């Protein structure tokens, strides 16, 4: 490893203990505070019960920049596993997720700009195991560092391989800031808000006559639609 690489690896912010503290204590406590000071509205309101009754386990996906808030609206995190990137930022999100009671699957898909070190193959195998065990999987549909809101074909492959239905989900707070210049248009959420949760599904992706690309395009449209719906609900622009 070069001297520059060694220095980068030893920056205090990249130390595992620091990342764990930030994720578990700082970020975890903050999202819990948002949930404690906010009310939740959902469309459909019976998503969790209906999914458990007829379509469990499932694959829930959201856009990357709008994923973190969804963690605090799931009624029973112990029944859900999250796919978490092996990037140092992913380590923080993993610790935050664990603090909320979720299982964690480490790894992410590979993109044209990021082919190595993602743990994608191992993650795919672990996702198969998670779904086979009866646990629902929650993952982001797009892969960093590509421009956001392009569905990974790996998620389509997972849905085909397992035969499990997919749900497109989105969450938004009435008090928020969108970082438009960030690749995933990250959403910063603030307490004392209305938390809106929107969902479409179940979506089965097992038809051999439909290409992976067609399924991905359809899922992207659904994710855009539920995100717009979540924003409208959070802002009081539509009936709950």
| pLDDT recorded at residue 9 | 52
Question: Where in the chain are the domains?
Answer: 3-234
Q: Is the pLDDT of residue 11 over 90?
A: no
pLDDT, tens digit (0-9, with 9 covering 90-100), for 219-235: 999 999 999 999 999 99
Q: How far apart are CA 182 and CA 204, in angstroms?
A: 31
**Distances, alpha carbon 168 to alpha carbons 30, 43, 140, 219, in Å:** 25, 12, 10, 7
Q: Is the pLDDT of residue 236 over 60?
A: yes
Asked if residue 48 lies in contact with residue 75, where contact means CB atoms within 8 angstroms, the answer is: yes
Contacts of 239 (CB under 8 A, 6+ apart): none
Is the bond into 185 cis (omega within 30 degrees of 0)?
Answer: no
Phi, psi of 171 (to 5 degrees): -135, 150
pLDDT band at 112 (very low <50, low <70, confident <90, very high): very low
Mean of per-residue pLDDT scores for the chain:
86
Asked if residue 60 lies in contact with residue 219, where contact means CB atoms within 8 angstroms, the answer is: no
Closest CA to 226 of 169, 187, 185, 184: 169
Rounded mean pLDDT, 10-26: 81
Q: Is the pLDDT of residue 33 over 90?
A: yes
CA trace torsion 222, 225, 226, 227 (10° rounding): 120
Rounded mean pLDDT, 180-207: 94
Asked if residue 171 lies in contact with residue 73, where contact means CB atoms within 8 angstroms, the answer is: yes
Looking at the domain that runs over 3-234, which CATH code has it been given? 3.40.1130
- Euclidean distance between the first and final Cα of the chain, in Å? 55
Rounded mean pLDDT, 29-52: 93
| pLDDT recorded at residue 239 | 60
Percent helix, strand, coil in the chain, to 5, is 45, 20, 35
pTM of the predicted model, to two decimals? 0.85
Q: Is the pLDDT of residue 240 over 90?
A: no
pLDDT, tens digit (0-9, with 9 covering 90-100), for 128-183: 999 999 999 999 998 776 677 889 899 999 999 999 999 999 999 999 999 988 88
């Amino acid at each position: 490893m070069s001297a520059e690489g060694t220095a980068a690896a030893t920056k205090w912010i990249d130390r595992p203990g620091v990342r764990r503290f930030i994720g578990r204590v700082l970020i975890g406590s903050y999202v819990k505070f948002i949930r404690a000071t906010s009310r939740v509205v959902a469309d459909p309101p019976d998503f969790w019960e209906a999914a458990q009754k007829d379509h469990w386990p499932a694959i829930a996906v959201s856009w990357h920049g709008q994923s973190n808030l969804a963690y605090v609206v799931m009624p029973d995190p112990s029944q859900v596993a999250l796919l978490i990137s092996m990037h140092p930022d992913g380590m923080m999100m993993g610790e935050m997720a664990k603090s909320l009671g979720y299982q964690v699957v480490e790894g992410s898909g590979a993109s044209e700009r990021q082919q190595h070190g993602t743990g994608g193959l191992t993650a795919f195998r672990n996702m198969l195991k998670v779904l086979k065990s009866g646990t629902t999987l929650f993952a982001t549909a797009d892969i960093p560092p590509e421009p956001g809101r392009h569905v990974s074909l790996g998620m389509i492959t997972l849905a085909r391989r397992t035969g499990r239905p997919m749900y497109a989900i989105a969450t938004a707070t009435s008090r928020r800031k969108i970082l438009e210049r960030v690749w995933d248009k990250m959403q910063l959420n603030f307490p004392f808000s209305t938390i809106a949760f929107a969902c479409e599904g179940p979506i089965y992706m097992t038809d051999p006559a439909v290409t992976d690309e067609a399924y991905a395009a359809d899922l992207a449209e659904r994710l855009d639609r539920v995100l717009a719906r979540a924003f409208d609900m959070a802002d009081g622009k539509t009936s709950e």
